[in-house]
């Protein structure tokens, strides 16, 4: 039997804590992906304590523990989103 570890990001119910960066808006995909990840990592550190991420083929989702951090991330990534 496999059990799912309960963590803070499995209980996120507020959509304001979730940031979706879509790579299909006509931006340079490699540049946009690199810039978005570099900005998030430089401000919030490595994933796990303040945020978690889920990369997908066409987009990436950042899930933040606090709404304040999520709002800051929206501002940081406003050029890429």
Q: How confident is the model over 30-58, as pLDDT tens digits?
A: 667 788 889 999 999 999 989 999 888 88
Of 67, 15, 70, give the one whose Cα is nearest residue 40. 70
31 vs 38: CA distance, rounded Å: 10
Residue 50 DSSP code = S
Rounded Cα gap, residues 32 and 4, in angstroms: 32
Q: For residues 74 and 80, what is the distance between their CA atoms, to the nearest angstrom?
A: 10
What is the predicted pLDDT for the residue at 77? 87
How large is the angle between the packed helices 67-76 and 29-44, nearest 10 degrees?
140
The reported pTM is 0.76
Residue 49 DSSP SS3: coil
């Amino acid at each position: 039997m496999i059990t799912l570890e309960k963590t803070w990001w499995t209980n996120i119910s507020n959509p304001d804590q979730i940031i979706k960066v879509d790579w299909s808006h006509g931006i340079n995909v490699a540049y946009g992906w690199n810039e978005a990840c570099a900005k998030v990592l430089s401000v919030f550190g490595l994933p796990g304590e303040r945020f978690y991420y889920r990369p997908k083929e066409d987009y990436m989702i950042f899930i933040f523990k606090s709404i304040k951090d999520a709002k800051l991330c929206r501002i940081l990534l406003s050029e890429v989103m």
